[in-house]
Structure 1
Amino acid sequence: MFTGLSAFPLTPMNEQGINEHEFARLVARLAEAGVDSIGVLGSTGNYAYLSSDERARMVKLGVESAAKVPVIAGIGALRTRDVLVNAENAQQAGASGVLLAPVSYQTLTDEEVFSLYQTVCRSLSVPLCVYDNPGTTHFNFSDELHGRIAELPQVRSIKIPPVQNDLAAAKARVAGLRALIPSDVTIGISGDSAAATGLLAGCDAWYSVIGGLYPDMALALTRAAQAGDTEQAMARSRALEPLWALYRDYGGSLRVAATIAELTGKVSQPCLPQPLQTLQGEARRRVETVIDELSLSGCR
């Protein structure tokens, strides 16, 4: 489950509620494409903006729509008690695994983060992926802390931030972490623009935003990298540079992905929870140009 392409769909919503039909359709498309797992309620799924009841409902709907494809459910929350509720709800809904970032308003210490994972693992019957996302959590994992947490029961993967787009440096980064964690714990790369490099450097999985919209395109890159075809994997990534440039220029992947989804009719508008907004004005026109340039309207 924590290998290959893990595709993370949006959770389309407005201030009146979640568009469950559109969410189910997004998840079903990923299952039909043959992705290796589906990550619901990740950062792309805006988990932090939903109540526990809403999250439980979306995991259930995600599992139903994913057919036999494993579903990994985000369970992060500010308080450990709420993480435990989300974890139990996800398990009851049939999630095959959970994803947990150390979310906090106050910056956490290493011991507080370890305690969070230790407490949650005691309550889990499904495997857990550690979500290392310092851009959101403002917490920086050391490899040593990853090593401690990876020894906990139920921990089976670590989702790391983007590696350098230099293959030698990326291999050293992955190898350094690999030396400190059990052999049955996988390493997954996040940050779509670094996916090819990360996979070629030894990462086992790509936790992908763009895969949540265009699974066929993301699968082609993933399979090339898994086959050790460096030239093809890097060429596929380079071909998407206009998209990666949008990520860099507009604050990351969420707003870009949501804007693409609106412009290509995959979701209705608006699709983000307030105060978040998709890109407007000149930025939106630039996204339209990239959609045309990469022929994304007709892609899967």
Structure 2
Amino acid sequence: MFTGLSAFPLTPVAGNGGVDERAFAALVRRLAAAGVDSIGALGSTGSYAYLTREERARVARLAVEHADGVPVIVGIGALRTRHVLQAAEDAQNAGASGVLLAPVSYQPLTDEDVFGLFEEVTAALSVPLVVYDNPRTTHFAFTDELYARLARLPRVAALKIPPLPADPGSARARVEHLRRLLPDTVAVGISGDAAAVRGLNAGCDAWYSVLAGTFPEPALALVRAAQAGQHRWAEEESRRLQPLWDLFARHGGLRVVAAAAAHLGLTAHRNLPLPLRGLDAEERSHLATVIERLRLHT
């Protein structure tokens, strides 16, 4: 479950502001049919922070119901520990195979705050947990010491780390350092789609992918090539996708894949929770051109 490609779909919002359950279920079925290794429901791409507890519980159930046996990892991040515990309970009741936790906060967090959060949550879990290090969103940066402490907690099964250094030798050295730091039972996965191949080629176990939630086929091709040792092909394919990575860097991955899903007819035109407005008409037109040029429309 913590190897290969983990695809993170949108949680589309309907015109009334609630979850577009039909569109979400179809996205999940599409990922399962493509053959992804796991599905990450209610990640950052899934807009978990904008949904109510009831909506999140419903989305978790829909993900498991429509995943056709593909393991589902459910995001459980929230501002307060009590709400994280509620989300964890709901995810487990829905049949999730694992959970994903980022330390979300309004006030700056200390290492002890974060360790205490994970300590309380893992004590209540019966499924594996992925530690999500996403400093761009959470404004909290994990230290290696904290990684090591968290990895010794029960149920911690994987890390989802930020992009690695650009130099291939430095990237591999970083992964090897983490391997020495962590128990053999804890997998290391990469996020940051533009740098995903760098992480896979450096020895990461998995790619937690924004792209794959809407375009699973090219993401799967990259992962399978890296797994087969075809590192140069994977690098070349990632370079081919550079126009898309440029859009991710300019607008954020969520806004880009939301507009892409609407362009493909997978969701309604407006599919993000307010106040997120998404791309404007000119930006959507440019994205459509990129999709056609990269042959991502099929």
- TM-score greater than 0.5 by the shorter chain: yes
1:239-254 superposed matches below 5 A: 239-250=240-251, 252-254=252-254
SS at match of 2:160: strand
Q: What displacement does 1:15 show?
A: 5.4
Tell me the residue number matched to 1:31.
Answer: 32
Separation in structure 2 between the aligned mates of residue 281 and residue 38 of structure 1, nearest angstrom: 30
Decide which moves more: 216-225 or 93-102: 216-225
CA distance in 2, matches of 1:121, 1:279: 38
Structure 2: stretches of 5+ with no match in the other structure: none
Query: What is the CA deviation profile of residues 173-231 of structure 1, one whole-angstrom value per residue up to 9, with x for unaligned ones?
Result: 21222221111100000011111110010100000011111111111100100111111
Displacement of 1:297? 1.5
Deviations 1:265-293 (A, max 9, x none): 11112000000011003322221211121
**Is structure 2 residue 276 aligned with structure 1 residue 286?**
no
Structure 1 stretches of 4+ moved >6 Å: none
Q: Which amino acid aligns with 2:286?
A: R
Gaps of 5+ in 1: none
Give 1:165 deviation, angstroms. 2.9
After TM superposition, the structure 1 stretch with the greater mean CA deviation from structure 2, 82-91 or 226-235, is 226-235
Which residue number corresponds to residue 88 of structure 1?
89
1:218 aligns with 2:224: no
Pairs aligned (count): 297
Q: Are the counterparts in 2 of residues 14 and 274 from structure 1 also a CA contact under 8 Å?
A: no
Residue of structure 2 equivalent to 1:68: 69
Counterpart of 1:267 in 2: which secondary structure? coil
Instruction: Provide the C-alpha distance between the structure 1 equivalents of 2:286 and 2:217, rounded to a whole number of angstroms.
Output: 24
Matched, 1:2 2:2: yes
Instruction: Measure the CA separation in 1 of the matches of 2:118 and 2:37.
Output: 25
Shift of 1:236: 1.2
Paired residue for 1:46?
Answer: 47
State how 1:68-217 maps to structure 2 within 5 Å. Answer: 68-217=69-218
User: 1:129–1:157: 8 Å Cα contact kept in structure 2?
Assistant: yes
User: Percentage identity across aligned positions?
Assistant: 60
* Code of the aligned partner of 2:259: T
Q: Given residue 296 of structure 1, which amino acid in structure 2 is its aligned partner? A: L
- Tell me the alpha carbon deviations over residues 41-89 of structure 1, each in whole angstroms, 9 at most, x when there is no partner: 0000000000111100000000000011000000000000000000001
Contact 1:15–1:274 at 8 Å: present in 2 too?
no
**CA RMSD across the alignment:** 0.9
1:15/1:273 contact within 8 Å kept = no
Contact 2:15 2:270 in 1 (8 A): no
Amino acid in the other structure paired with 2:186: V
Partner Cα separation in structure 1 for residue 196 and residue 119 of structure 2: 29
Is the contact made by 1:130 and 1:159 (CA closer than 8 Å) also made in structure 2?
yes
Counterpart-to-counterpart distance in 1, 2:43 and 2:250 = 22
1: CA distance, partners of 2:207 / 2:167: 17
Aligned mates of 2:60, 2:193 — CA distance in 1: 24
| Structure 1 residue 107 displacement after superposition | 0.8
Structure 1 residue 2, shift from structure 2 partner: 0.7
Q: Name the SS for the 1:18 alignment partner.
A: coil
- Measure the CA separation in 2 of the matches of 1:283 and 1:97: 36
Measured in 2, the distance between the counterparts of 1:100 and 1:273 equals 21
Check if 1:269 corresponds to 2:263: no
Q: Distance in 1 between matches of 2:31 and 2:255?
A: 20
CA distance in 2, matches of 1:216, 1:238: 16
Letter in 2 for 1:238: R
Deviations 1:69-115 (A, max 9, x none): 00000000000000000000100000000000000000100001000
Q: CA deviation at 1:14?
A: 3.6
| Matching of residue 13 in structure 1 with residue 13 in structure 2 | yes
| Aligned ranges 1:230-241 → 2 under 5 Å | 230-241=231-242
- Mean CA deviation greater in 126-135 or 167-176: 167-176
In structure 1, C-alpha distance between the alignment counterparts of 2:197 and 2:235, rounded to whole Å: 6
Q: Separation in 2 of the partners of 1:14 and 1:180? A: 45
| TM-score (normalised: structure 1) | 0.97
